Amino acid sequence: MWQVYARILPAGHLGIKRKVDMDIGLTRRHIQHAAKLTGQNPARFWLVHHMFSALRSIDTHGENFLMFFGEVPCYRYCPVCLHEQSVSHFPLHWRFRGWRHCPLHNCMMDDRCKRCGLHVRLPRNLMTGGIKREGVAYLHQCYGCEHNLSTHWKEVNGSACGDILKSSERIAMDQGRAVLSALYHGYFSYVGQSKRRYSLKGLLGFERNGSLPHFGFLLDSNEILRRRNTYASDGPHGHKN
């Protein structure tokens, strides 16, 4: 729910300094204030507070694990998820660099509008969005050109299935998603060593040595579709994993 309200309520209304990231800057006091303003139970904000508190313990400003365009928070999104949502929203895991692949729909996440190429940056003042700056009504609309970000959902749905991905790419994306599991539980373990728990600080080592699908990981939905078209043209013998 926070990912909805944080896009609606200005930072100043929540008591968060404007130069502070609205996700990273969230505290219990801000949750109480947001719950009062929106009439919601504070418990509904528990997960986002828990996750970003854990992140702050190893990455104070989120620059190692969260998505930014310059200094502005930005997101990836799953076109199929956006299409299926009854109320458009951006879940907290879409903010993380390592969340490259949607496991629900087996497709790569996008980070830009397919029409104009604008990065998905939030929070935004929806009242001043759109081509004529007359506003956009929904979060699934591009803030710049008003294009529906989910229009290509049929094209990408299930596109990353089968052997279209290299084993190294699968491993990197699995590790990216595992970061969120580690933040939730407060520790991480290696496969086959479930009884031994490691501190969250160890995640910084994975980020620095390139084990996570962060900087330099170039696989996206366009590349997946290119591979599928090549695979369809060349047949199974022309495809190498």
- With respect to residue 213, please indicate whether it lies within any of the assigned structural domains: yes
pLDDT for the residue 7: 45
Tokens representing 90? 């951006």
Check whether residue 43 and residue 86 sit in a common domain: no
Check whether residue 28 and residue 73 sit in a common domain: no
- With respect to residue 235, please indicate whether it lies within any of the assigned structural domains: yes
pLDDT in tens, 200-238: 999 999 999 999 999 889 999 999 999 999 987 776 555
- Average pLDDT of the segment spanning 45-74: 92
pLDDT for the residue 224: 94
- Average pLDDT of the segment spanning 39-48: 85
pLDDT for the residue 6: 46
- With respect to residue 94, please indicate whether it lies within any of the assigned structural domains: yes
Check whether residue 44 and residue 127 sit in a common domain: no
- With respect to residue 211, please indicate whether it lies within any of the assigned structural domains: yes
Residue 121: is its pLDDT beyond 90?
no
- Average pLDDT of the segment spanning 174-180: 96
pLDDT in tens, 28-37: 887 787 778 7
- Average pLDDT of the segment spanning 54-80: 93
Check whether residue 91 and residue 198 sit in a common domain: yes
Distances (CA, A) of 109 to 55, 58, 93, 100, 133: 22, 25, 11, 5, 27
Check whether residue 47 and residue 83 sit in a common domain: no
Check whether residue 104 and residue 207 sit in a common domain: yes
Check whether residue 70 and residue 32 sit in a common domain: no
pLDDT in tens, 76-110: 999 999 999 998 889 999 999 999 999 999 999 99
Residue 3: is its pLDDT beyond 70?
no
- With respect to residue 115, please indicate whether it lies within any of the assigned structural domains: yes
Check whether residue 48 and residue 77 sit in a common domain: no
- With respect to residue 126, please indicate whether it lies within any of the assigned structural domains: yes
Q: Which of 13, 28, 56 is the last residue of a domain?
A: 56
- With respect to residue 222, please indicate whether it lies within any of the assigned structural domains: yes
Confidence (pTM):
0.86
Tally the domains of the chain: 2
Q: Give the whole-number percent of the chain exceeding pLDDT 70.
A: 88
- Average pLDDT of the segment spanning 22-33: 79
Confidence of residue 75 (pLDDT cuts 50, 70, 90): very high
Residue 39 to residue 132: CA distance in whole angstroms: 33
Mean pLDDT score of the chain: 86
- With respect to residue 61, please indicate whether it lies within any of the assigned structural domains: no
pLDDT for the residue 57: 95
Q: Which of 56, 86, 102 is the last residue of a domain?
A: 56
Check whether residue 45 and residue 75 sit in a common domain: no
Residue 21: is its pLDDT beyond 80?
no
Structural domain that includes position 137: 66-241
pLDDT for the residue 119: 93
Check whether residue 15 and residue 37 sit in a common domain: yes
Q: Which residue has the higher pLDDT, 228 or 20?
A: 228
Check whether residue 97 and residue 50 sit in a common domain: no
Q: Which of 30, 56, 82 is the last residue of a domain?
A: 56
Check whether residue 113 and residue 220 sit in a common domain: yes
Q: Which residue has the higher pLDDT, 193 or 169?
A: 169
pLDDT for the residue 157: 96
